[in-house]
Structure 1
Amino acid sequence: MVRSDMNDQMMEVRIVSATGVSGSGFKESSLATSLEMKPHFIGCDCGSTDPGPAPLGSGKTAFPRQAVKRDLRLMLKAARQAKIPLLLGSAGTAGGEPHLAVVKEIILEIAAEEKLSFPLALIHSEQDKSYLKRRLREGRIKPLKPAPDFDEAAIDRAVRIVGMMGEEPFLRALDHGAEVIVAGRASDCAIFAGIPIQMGIPPGIAWHAAKILECGAAAAVSRSSPDCMFATLRQDHFDLETPNPEMRCSPQSIAAHSLYENSDPYRLVESSGVIDLSAAQYEALDDRRVRVRGSRFEPAQRY
């Protein structure tokens, strides 16, 4: 369950992102410091398209199993110690069935070795080809520009096809009692945006914070290595800080992150809508923390 220690006078949601992708590493001390700030949940985007389509087609992870297990062990132990949920999206790099299976196997190994017990949810994203062909014939599948024409032959040629989920499957799993979630292909931001929105944080604040959190400490000034990022979300702003005292955030480093993986730094597109940063303001609280205001969210007309 998500901890319920909020009050109406100062509603806030606290989140720790362990790292930008599981297997890339983070400092154990950074996660320990994050726990001292009493997060409501731990999240980690476990996927990446940086390696190209090979992990999806081969069913293999981009990072060595040992590296992934090291990161997952620390995350899982921290979540169970704090009695908060652990949300993992795009499991095993690409989020297909073999990727989901290997992460599940690792989680169960760790649970046995550490003598941990918890409700585990697996959320599948790999699509059945016959289902996709039926939806294509119904006119429900259209290629994104400038992608080539998409037909049944393309479906047949694909080794596997995954659909990208939003925040809704994570929230349903939590509502059914899951405390550890291993999800297939997912929007990176959805891992972090769903719980805050459900707890009453405005979508613009939640989605913008999620966009920064999904990359771990990547938005820090001159990040020396992958590491954790911590966010505190409130009704009209969110604060960001790196638990690692050797790193820091600045208004420039946080604002610059909107250039990452986006064609327009003022309008960040998600499946369910657009994060509008045209009125966003970035303020240095001190030499390490940044406050962000003014982020808005425009729901998509079709989702």
Structure 2
Amino acid sequence: MIRCSRLATEQYLKGKTIPTYAGEITSLPTYAQSLAGYSQVANLQALEQTITEEIPLQVLAQLEQENQSQNPNHHQDSIETNVNAIQTIIQTTTKELVKIEKTVPVYFGFVLSSPAAHIMIFRGTQRTNEWLLNLAALQATAQDIDTPQFLGRAHRGFVNIYADLVRQTREIAQNLDPRKPCYISGHSLGAAIATLAAVDIAITVPALSPQLRLYTYAGPRVGNADFANGHSRLIPNHYRIINLADLVPIVPSTMLLENITYVHCGQEWSFLAQNGDLLPNHVVSTYSEAIDQEIETNTPRTYPT
């Protein structure tokens, strides 16, 4: 599962740089033959807002008209007129740079299926606005944001991101064979989104609910105690893997305000890999190496006293 999280990141990056890329994971650098038995049945996509700066084409024509109206008796080809016009163009063009916003589809993950199982993967944080939403630790209910379904109160930023994916996630889930296990997974932000997706699918696609298996890596806290309790009832097979040196799993704080609290959900499996800095302790490769070595454990932690 953790290797699929890396593939989801590579899928996003390739989609950003190659407009003709159709999302197939077989062309990605870390694609492994261990996935050869799976068919890619769907991609998960969301809209990304981009801002570009462009000079309006009408500025030059507008300036030429203004120059002629201000100097009706002055010869159009005079050096003075041209110098003044060029100077005005430079000054005004600088002022009239406009920000043009547009939205483009970007990849947020993929879904695989084999004769034995299904896999649904959500990628981690890649965009600036996703980091900002990660920090928006206020909470929302399912009634506040009417599309995703969950119990209790959950992180508003995570819910807003999943709201962009919820309709396609449900549609994909409805078309999966409910007789097969369905593994849902993600790393970092992807872990939070996978947690919300698993609950939403359990509620809205009940035929698939008994088959849901959730594996999350380096995931932050997602909701309050009511959310965690409801999640545990709906998704009893949730395995939450964390690096004890990783700061992301300990945010948001368990108590931000008196009425805003956060509780982890799922069965914790942990390991310790201290690489001396925030990012190396959090990246997919750190988790992948630990899992390959099978050093994660669910035994109670003991500390010297």
Q: TM-score, normalised by structure 1?
A: 0.31
> Who wins on radius of gyration, i.e. which is larger?
2
Q: TM-score, normalised by structure 2?
A: 0.31
Relative contact order (C-alpha < 8 Å, sep 6+): which is higher?
1
Higher helix proportion (structure 1 or 2): 2
